[in-house]
């Protein structure tokens, strides 16, 4: 993917927020890219997205579109990373 | 826009009568009355929100969080009545304490000011926010999730109508209808105009409010709660406490996540928990420390065979330590006594609610001395930790903060005070002589 954002930085930020959102005491490195967002380890629901979005925007110094998640399917951390990369690119 | 919102809220705060004025009692009554009168309209608006959320593919569990029913109206009416009854206690005139032979000092309750509540998609929080802070004289800004925008609009109209009927400024309640996160950020950067921030909802939201704003925050840090079961404990009671602390509201912040049990009684505790679950057909998943023998041995298996039993056993994983399961799952971990339990709680607990079960009074006293949490429950369910149950009054949240309020955030926590010094003509120079 062509983007001005460092994918590793995005991945680390996304993992940090989904860990916080799932109320876990883990490090980003403990989460695999293909970990389900709602599975054995992570518990992320869409009502928590406001908090996740503002944290991601601040951490990555980007502005994400309000409708970032509308009409998109995302099941894993990898999906979320890709959506954030796309959203950041679209808003640039 | 942000400026106009803040100006209106601060003007309403300035124009509002003092805390304890009869207008606030009228407001509680009017709010209850108008909620009932407009409930069909609120339900219509809520149905629109639900339809939209369903279109967006929200899960049934999340849809349930958005949904209002007649049962909610009953609970909200009960809440307004409870708040009305509690107002006198919070606003009663302080009889004062004599100061030497020259005066009297007393406290006079004052509102915290403009309270900014940020929350997600629970419409009942809109009513709680329009009720508790306002009943003691605060102005509130309420920012709920956009998933409940129409419901909030309807509830906003009810609150405004009630304020006007009570003779209070209408802008004491402002429901923010702009879903733009820029407005949220702008408000968080206004400690000059917003006095208190009360975030309720996801951990990311609360963490963000804590870290991105210098406005004082009243918030819960989440409930990674434990129950330590000492070997002297009544294990039948421990099993009941485990289930009662978890199952009725598995996602609440005062539920138990982990039983830390003395190793020598761990297998007996697990047996007691499963027995109690089976007896009352209570569905529960136990994540069991591999050091604790599984009931029935290795072949004891994962669950009641063929789903005949309501319990399931999974292996406790490293990542389960310090987590909130957010469902009907409870961990069981064996410990070698109180010190190990305390070390685990210090490392993984969130300072919300911790519990100890012990017949040995010395153990429970040691536990309460050494554990630092908003509430510590001795020989009982962790879910006892809420304002009404503890007799503290209605609450708007449970705080894990260390300043101003810790535990249930009741009406009394939504006011500050002025010291009133009745000096009877005393001059400072005449008092100096009496100082030690």
The Cα of B319 is separated from the nearest Cα of chain A by a number of Å equal to 7
Q: Would you say B422 and B108 are in contact if contact means Cβ atoms under 8 Å apart?
A: no
CA distances from B57 to A46, B262, B329 (A): 10, 45, 26
The pLDDT tens digits for B355-398 are: 999 999 999 999 999 999 999 999 999 999 999 999 999 999 99
Kindly report the average pLDDT of chain A as a whole number.
82
Paired with B313 in beta bridges are: B286
Please check whether residues B418 and B364 belong to one and the same domain.
no
Please report, for the domain that includes residue A30, its CATH number. 1.10.1200.10
Total count of domains within chain B = 2
Q: Quick one: pLDDT at residue B291? A: 92
* Cα distance between residue B285 and residue B331, in whole Å: 8
Q: Which of B230, B234, B284, B288 is nearest to B261 (CA)?
A: B230
Residue B432 within a domain? no
Number of H helices, E strands in chain B: 13, 16
Total count of domains within chain A = 1
> Which chain B positions have a beta carbon within 8 Å of A21's beta carbon?
202-204
**Pairwise pLDDT comparison (B202 vs A2), residue with the higher score:** B202
Please check whether residues B162 and B60 belong to one and the same domain.
yes
Please check whether residues B260 and B339 belong to one and the same domain.
yes
Task: Calculate mean pLDDT across residues B13-40.
Answer: 98
pTM above 0.95, yes or no: no
Q: How far apart are the first and last CA of chain A?
A: 15
Quote ipTM for the complex: 0.80
Q: Quick one: pLDDT at residue A2? A: 39
Of A25, A26, A55, the CB nearest to B208: A55
Residue B6 within a domain? yes
> Which chain B positions have a beta carbon within 8 Å of A55's beta carbon?
204, 207-208
B284: left (phi over 0), alpha (psi -120 to 50) or beta: beta
Residue B390 within a domain? no
| Interchain proximity A23–B59, CB inside 8 Å | no
**Neighbour order of strands in the sheet with B284-288:** B311-315, B284-288, B329-335, B258-262, B226-229, B353-357, B375-378
Kindly report the average pLDDT of chain B as a whole number.
93
The Cα of B226 is separated from the nearest Cα of chain A by a number of Å equal to 15
Residue B435 within a domain? no
The pLDDT tens digits for B324-353 are: 888 899 999 999 999 999 999 999 999 999
Does residue B299 have a pLDDT over 60? Answer: no
The label of the residue with tokens 């403009």 reads B114
Q: Which of B200, B163, B124 is nearest to B30 (CA)?
A: B163
User: Picking from B3-12, B82-91, B249-258, B369-378, which range would have the lowest pLDDT averaged per residue?
Assistant: B249-258
Residue B316 within a domain? yes
Sign of CA pseudo-dihedral A27, B145, B398, B391: negative
Tokens of B368: 């309460």
Residue A59 within a domain? yes
* Cα distance between residue B143 and residue B116, in whole Å: 8
Chain A interface mutation, best of B203, B217, B315, B318, highest count of A Cβ atoms under 10 Å = B203
Residue A1 within a domain? no
Does residue B25 have a pLDDT over 50? Answer: yes
> Which chain B positions have a beta carbon within 8 Å of A57's beta carbon?
181
Residue A2 within a domain? no
Domain around B299? 226-384
Please report, for the domain that includes residue B407, its CATH number. 3.40.605.10
Q: Quick one: pLDDT at residue B303? A: 60
| Interchain proximity B206–A51, CB inside 8 Å | yes
Paired with B356 in beta bridges are: B228, B378
| Interchain proximity A70–B56, CB inside 8 Å | yes
Q: H helices within B136-202, ranges in order?
A: 149-166, 181-188
């Amino acid at each position: 993917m062509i983007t001005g954002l460092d994918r590793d930085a995005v991945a680390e930020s996304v993992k940090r927020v989904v860990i916080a959102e799932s109320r876990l005491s883990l490090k980003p490195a403990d989460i695999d890219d293909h970990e389900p967002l709602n599975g054995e380890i992570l518990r992320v629901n869409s009502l928590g997205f406001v908090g996740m979005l503002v944290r991601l925007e601040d951490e990555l110094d980007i502005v994400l579109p309000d409708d970032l998640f509308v009409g998109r399917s995302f099941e894993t951390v990898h999906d979320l990373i890709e959506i954030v990369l796309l959203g950041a690119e679209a808003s640039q | 826009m942000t400026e106009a919102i803040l100006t209106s809220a601060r003007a309403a705060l300035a124009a509002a009568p003092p805390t304890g004025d009869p207008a606030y009692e009228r407001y509680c009554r009017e709010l209850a009355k108008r909620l009932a009168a407009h409930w069909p309209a609120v339900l219509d608006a809520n149905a629109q929100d639900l339809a939209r959320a369903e279109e967006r593919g929200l899960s049934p569990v999340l849809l349930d969080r958005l949904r209002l029913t007649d049962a909610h109206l009953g609970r909200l009416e009960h809440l307004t009545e409870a708040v009305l009854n509690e107002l006198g206690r919070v606003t009663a005139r302080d009889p004062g304490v004599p100061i030497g032979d020259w005066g009297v000092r007393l406290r006079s309750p004052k509102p915290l000011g403009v309270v900014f509540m940020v929350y997600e998609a629970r419409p009942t929080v809109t009513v709680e926010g329009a009720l508790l802070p306002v009943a003691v004289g605060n102005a509130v800004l309420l920012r709920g999730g956009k998933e409940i925008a129409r419901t909030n609009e309807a509830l906003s109209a009810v609150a405004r109508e009630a304020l006007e009927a009570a003779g209070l400024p209408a802008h004491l309640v402002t429901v923010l209808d702009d879903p733009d996160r820029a407005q949220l950020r702008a408000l968080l950067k206004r400690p000059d105009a917003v006095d208190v921030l009360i975030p309720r909802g996801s951990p990311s939201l609360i963490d963000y409010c804590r870290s991105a704003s210098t406005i004082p925050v009243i918030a819960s840090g989440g409930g990674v709660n434990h129950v330590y079961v000492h070997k002297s404990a009544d294990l039948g009671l421990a099993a009941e406490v485990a289930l009662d602390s978890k199952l009725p509201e598995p996602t609440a912040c005062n539920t138990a996540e982990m039983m830390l049990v003395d190793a020598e009684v761990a297998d007996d505790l697990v047996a007691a928990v499963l027995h109690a679950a089976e007896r009352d057909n209570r569905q529960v998943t136990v994540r069991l420390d591999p050091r604790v023998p599984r009931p029935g041995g290795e072949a004891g298996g994962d669950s009641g065979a063929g789903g005949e039993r309501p319990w399931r056993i999974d292996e406790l994983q490293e990542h389960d330590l310090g987590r909130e399961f957010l469902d009907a799952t409870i961990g069981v971990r064996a410990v070698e006594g109180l010190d190990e339990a305390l070390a685990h709680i210090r490392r993984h607990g969130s300072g919300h609610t911790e519990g100890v079960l012990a017949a040995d009074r010395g153990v429970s006293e040691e536990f309460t001395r050494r554990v630092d949490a908003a509430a510590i429950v001795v020989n009982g369910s962790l879910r006892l930790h809420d304002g009404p149950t503890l007799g503290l009054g209605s609450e708007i949240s449970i705080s894990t903060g260390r300043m101003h309020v810790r535990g249930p955030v009741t009406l009394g926590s939504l006011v500050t005070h002025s010291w009133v010094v009745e000096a009877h003509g005393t001059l400072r120079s005449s008092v100096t002589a009496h100082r030690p």
